[in-house]
Chains A and B, each alone.
Chain A
Amino acid sequence: MDCIYCKKVALYAGSLMLKNGAETFRVEEIMKYIMQASGYEEVDAFVTPTGIFLSIGDDSSSGTYIKRISERSINLSKIDKVNTVSRKLCAGEISIEKAYFLFKQIDLEPPYRLIVKLLASALTAAFFSLLFKGSFPEFTATFTVNILMQLILSLLNKYNISFFLTNLSGGAISAFLSILIMKMGFPIDSNIVIISSIMTLVPGVAITNSIRDTFHGDLLSGVARMAEAVFIAMAIAGGVGIVLNFTF
């Protein structure tokens, strides 16, 4: 098989996984497997959260390729699907052309619809208010606050605003709305409402991935993702703090 084509498929699969929030070692392994499945034994992949390096060292066709990843989101469904396709490719069940076609299909696949995601996020927050010893008024208040916050954040996301500002405004909006609802005279505990509605913003993915990366020996990615988690947490706390500062 043509080296250029294989490298294209491997880089495509790798960038697809990294963009959607896979761990570093998984991306590296998948690119290596794809190259090895098409007969290139001396392959090295080096992945950081912001870029991919792929080097092929066989005598006839050597070279190093770089792919820069600038946008990152989380879509666990795509990770699962790319994983399945590359498993099949390595087992020899499908050809590399078919795999490339499938990867393209996975890339174009739409996520859950925005309205479904908004409702899911709002329901998550609302159920959390029950776990934090709230009752029905808090449940409804959290639902409203979170759905409004996520709506505003999804509008902000269209303009490619940095993650720090998005999380800052998320914290600020949820604190503002909760306090507004309380001041309007509804019998709610604003603390519970704020805590539950920021639960959907907290950096669970960054924490999990940074731990998994660090313990696979990918120290660079582990530290980078840990820094991301810390910054997100700081942004949320800062956003809430700004609003609380004005109301006390």
Chain B
Amino acid sequence: MFKDFIIALLACICFSIVFDVPKKYLFLSGFGGALAWISYLICLNITDSTILSCFIGAVSVGLFGEIAAIYKKAPVPLFIIPGIITLVPGANMYYSMFYIIKGDFQSASIQGSQTLLLAGAIASGLIVITSIFKVVKRGTQNHKIKKKIMDNKKVKCD
């Protein structure tokens, strides 16, 4: 498991370089990817369902990305885009093509639908986190505005 973590970390750090992530964020964005892969593996061990595991992986990378973005004051995609790569169903896409060429359409349709479902799982995992954080951010903004108004009132009263 630890070996997998290191390999995923290195893979994601290299992938961040392909997308020109600044040097100071390389480790963090790689860490997000490694986190996604590890939570995917753990969930796969427990539940034996690739789709649920992919969902959990996407949730963890989304959560990590949003928190890192707030902490570092950087845009969220910086941490999510390199992190999501470990979950993208490239293998299923390849196998569905492979079976189509072989003429085994039953296996091809199984793999093809798996590809779509996994992509959907990633999407919904990210959606959950994005919408939660949208509400949280709006909440804090409202709080700040209220505070500002209150402060202004205080000044006037004085």
Secondary structure type dominating chain B contacts: helix
B130 to chain A, nearest CB (A): 5
Instruction: State which of B8, B18, B75 has its C-beta within 8 Å of the C-beta of A117.
Output: B18
Q: Which of A32-40, A63-71, A78-86, A180-188 contacts B (4 or more CB under 8 A)?
A: A78-86
B17 adjacent to chain A (CB < 8 Å): yes
Which of A76, A128, A212, A236 is in CB contact (< 8 Å) with B21?
A76
**A127 an interface residue at 8 Å Cβ cutoff?**
yes
A22 adjacent to chain B (CB < 8 Å): yes
CA distance in complex: A117, B18 (Å): 5
Stretch at the interface among B48-56, B92-100, B143-151: B92-100
Contacts of A195 in B (CB 8 A): 90-91, 94
- Give A61 to B102 CA distance when docked, in angstroms: 65
CA separation between A216 and B130, bound complex, in Å? 9
A208 at the interface (CB under 8 A from B): yes
Place the interface of chain A in its size category. 35 or more
Shortest beta-carbon distance, A74 to chain B, in Å? 5
A191-B81 contact, Cβ under 8 Å, with A207-B119, A215-B127: no
Distance from B29 Cβ to chain A, minimum over Cβ atoms (Å): 8
Q: How far, in angstroms, from A112 to B15 measured CA to CA in the complex?
A: 12
Cβ of A79: which chain B residues have Cβ within 8 Å of it?
Answer: 75, 77-78
11 A-B pairs whose Cβ atoms sit less than 8 Å apart in the complex: A23-B77, A76-B77, A79-B77, A80-B22, A121-B18, A124-B14, A131-B8, A199-B88, A205-B19, A208-B84, A216-B134
Interface residues of A (CB under 8 A from B): 21-23, 26, 74-81, 83-84, 87, 111-112, 116-117, 120-121, 123-124, 127-128, 130-132, 191, 194-195, 198-200, 202-205, 207-209, 211-212, 215-216, 233, 236-237, 240-241, 244-245, 248
